[in-house]
C-alpha cells in the first residue's frame, strides 16, 4: 500500500527558509511537529498566509502566554484510564496518541507530550466499563487518530464493541480522510472491516475533520467514496479558526463541497482556549458572523451545521449574538441541563463561554472520577522530557 512519507524534523522541509526553521525549533521543542509529504503538497509556499500551511507549520505565536493544555478539563471525564464518560449515553475510547499530522490548533495536543499518558493501547478496561453501563449506546474512538492504528487493532476494538448489545453506534474521529486518504481507499482489509460491521441496523460513523475546502482533493473524494461504498456514514466537524477558515467564502465553499461529496456538515466549533492557540483566536461575535454569512451562501444541506463550544460543562450551541448579547443553549450537558437556554452579555472581546459575565451561574467545575489520570493543567508548562533536552542543548 503506497503511503506518504512522514516528517517529524522541521529541518527536512526545504521550502521553509533556514532562518525561519531555526526560529521554529524552539516551538517544536514544546509542541510536537509531524506532517507528511502528501499534505505538504497542498501548500502554496508562495502565499505567506496559506491556510494549509497555517494548519500544520508552527507559528511563533504558539509560545505566547495563552490558554491551558486541557481547556475543557477532560481529566475529569475519565472513568478508567483511556475511557471518558461525560454524557450519559456516550463513551470515548482514547485509543491513539498519534495523528497523520499534528494540527497546530489541536485541543488535545497534550496527548503528544512525552510526560502525558491518556491514550491507551490496552482498551480492555474501557471496553469492560462500557459493557457494564447499559446506558451507553454510542462509543467514539478518538485520540490522536484511531484510523492510524493497524487495521488488526481497529478490528479488535470494533468486534468487541459490536459484541456489546447496547452499543448501537460506533464513531471514529479522524482527519486521515484528508491527511492520508490513501490509507482508506487502498486498504481492502479496512474497507472489509467496515462492510462487515457498518450495517443497516448499526452504522459506523467517521467524524471527519476537514477544515478548509482545499483539503477536499480528488484523493480525499476517493476516500469518502470508499467509505460510503463500505456502508460508513461520513460527517464533518471543524473549529472556525483565524487565518485558516474564518473567511465566509471559504466556509461556504467548505459547506458546499462537503455536501456535494455526500459528507454531512455536523459541527462548527469555537476554538478552545488551549495553550499555543493564540494565533487562531476569533471572538465569539466574529466566529458567529462568519458562520452566518457562510450559511447564507449555501443550500439547506449546508445550513444543517451547528456552531458550538465544547466547554467543560457541555456542548453549548451559539444560537445568535446580537446587540451585545449571546443567545445560547446547552446542546449537551454533563449535569443534565440539556436544552437550557441562556442569554448573557457578550463583550466584544469574548472568545469563550468563560468570558461571558454570569456564565458561572450555569455550571460548576467537576471533580475527577479517577486518580490514575494526571491533570496536565497542574504539570509543567514545558513537557518534562522535552524540557530536559532543551536545557542540555
- Provide the pLDDT confidence category of residue 391 given band limits of 50, 70 and 90: very low
Predicted local distance difference test score (pLDDT) of residue 385: 62
Could you tell me where the beta strands, DSSP code E, fall in 13-130?
Answer: 35-36, 78-80, 83-84, 90-94
Q: Tell me the C-alpha distance between 59 and 26, whole Å.
A: 10
Residue 217 clears pLDDT 50, i.e. is over it: yes
Check residue 3 and give its pLDDT: 84
Q: What's the distance, CA 138 to chain centroid? A: 18
Q: Using DSSP, how many helices (H) and how many strands (E) does the chain show?
A: 12, 14
Residue 171 has a pLDDT of 98
Mean pLDDT of 118-129: 96
Give the model's pLDDT for residue 1. 54
Average pLDDT on 113-134 reads 96
Q: Would you say residue 246 has pLDDT above 60? A: yes
Cell matching residue 11:
529541518
Mean confidence (pLDDT) of the chain: 95
Residue 374, pLDDT above cutoff 90? no
Average pLDDT over residues 20-32: 95
Average pLDDT over residues 242-259: 98
Mean pLDDT of 319-332: 98
Let me know: does 109 contact 62? Beta carbons within 8 Å: no
Q: What is the pLDDT of residue 283?
A: 98
Side-chain half-sphere exposure of 372, counting CA atoms within 13 A: 12
- Give the HSE-up count for residue 41: Cα atoms under 13 Å, Cβ half-sphere: 11
Q: How far is the C-alpha of 186 from the C-alpha of 297, rounded, in Å?
A: 35
3-class secondary structure, 173: strand
- H-type alpha helices, 276-344: 284-296
What pLDDT is attached to residue 235? 98
Cα four-point dihedral sign 316, 380, 75, 161: positive
- DSSP annotation of 131 reads H
Main-chain phi, psi angles of 92, to 5 degrees: -115, 130
Tell me the average pLDDT across 366-373: 93
The better pLDDT of the pair 148, 384 is held by 148
Rounded to an integer, what is the distance from CA 357 to the centroid of its chain?
27
Other CB atoms within a 10 A radius of the CB of residue 130 amount to 23
pLDDT of residue 152: 98
Spatial separation of the C-alpha atoms in residues 269 and 277, rounded to whole Å = 14
Amino acid at each position: 500500500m503506497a503511503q506518504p512519507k512522514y516528517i517529524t524534523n522541521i529541518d527536512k522541509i526545504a521550502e521553509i527558509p533556514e532562518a525561519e526553521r531555526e526560529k521554529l525549533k524552539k516551538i517544536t521543542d514544546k509542541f510536537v511537529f509531524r506532517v507528511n509529504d502528501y499534505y505538504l503538497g497542498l501548500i502554496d509556499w508562495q502565499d505567506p498566509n496559506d491556510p494549509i500551511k497555517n494548519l500544520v507549520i508552527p507559528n511563533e505565536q504558539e509560545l505566547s502566554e495563552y490558554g491551558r493544555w486541557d481547556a475543557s478539563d477532560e481529566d475529569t471525564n475519565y472513568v478508567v484510564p483511556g475511557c471518558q464518560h461525560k454524557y450519559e449515553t456516550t463513551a470515548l475510547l482514547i485509543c491513539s496518541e498519534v495523528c497523520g499530522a499534528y494540527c497546530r490548533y489541536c485541543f488535545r495536543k497534550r496527548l503528544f507530550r512525552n510526560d502525558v499518558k491518556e491514550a491507551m493501547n490496552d482498551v480492555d478496561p474501557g471496553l469492560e466499563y462500557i459493557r457494564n453501563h447499559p446506558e451507553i449506546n454510542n462509543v467514539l474512538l478518538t485520540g490522536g487518530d484511531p484510523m492510524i492504528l493497524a487495521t488488526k487493532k481497529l478490528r479488535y476494538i470494533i468486534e468487541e464493541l459490536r459484541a456489546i448489545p447496547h452499543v448501537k453506534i460506533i464513531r471514529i474521529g479522524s482527519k486521515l480522510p484528508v491527511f492520508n486518504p490513501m490509507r482508506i481507499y487502498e486498504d481492502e482489509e479496512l474497507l472489509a472491516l467496515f462492510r462487515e460491521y457498518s450495517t443497516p441496523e448499526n452504522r459506523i460513523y467517521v467524524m471527519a475533520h476537514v477544515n478548509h475546502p482545499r483539503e477536499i482533493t480528488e484523493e480525499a473524494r476517493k476516500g469518502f467514496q470508499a467509505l460510503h461504498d463500505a456502508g460508513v456514514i461520513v460527517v464533518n466537524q471543524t473549529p472556525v479558526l483565524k487565518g485558516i477558515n474564518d473567511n465566509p467564502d471559504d466556509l461556504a465553499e467548505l459547506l458546499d463541497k462537503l455536501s456535494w461529496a455526500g459528507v454531512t456538515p455536523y459541527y462548527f466549533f469555537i476554538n478552545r482556549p488551549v495553550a499555543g492557540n493564540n494565533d487562531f483566536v476569533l471572538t465569539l461575535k466574529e466566529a458567529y458572523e462568519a458562520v452566518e454569512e457562510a450559511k447564507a451562501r449555501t443550500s439547506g444541506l449546508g445550513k444543517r451545521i451547528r456552531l458550538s463550544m465544547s466547554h467543560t460543562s457541555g456542548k453549548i450551541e451559539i444560537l445568535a449574538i446580537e446587540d451585545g448579547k449571546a443567545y445560547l443553549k446547552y446542546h449537551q450537558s454533563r449535569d443534565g441541563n440539556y436544552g437550557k437556554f441562556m442569554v448573557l452579555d457578550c463583550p466584544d472581546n469574548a472568545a469563550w463561554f468563560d468570558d461571558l459575565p454570569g456564565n458561572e451561574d450555569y455550571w460548576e467545575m467537576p471533580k475527577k472520577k479517577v486518580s490514575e489520570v494526571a491533570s496536565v493543567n497542574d504539570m509543567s508548562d514545558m513537557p518534562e522530557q522535552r524540557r530536559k533536552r532543551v536545557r542540555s542543548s
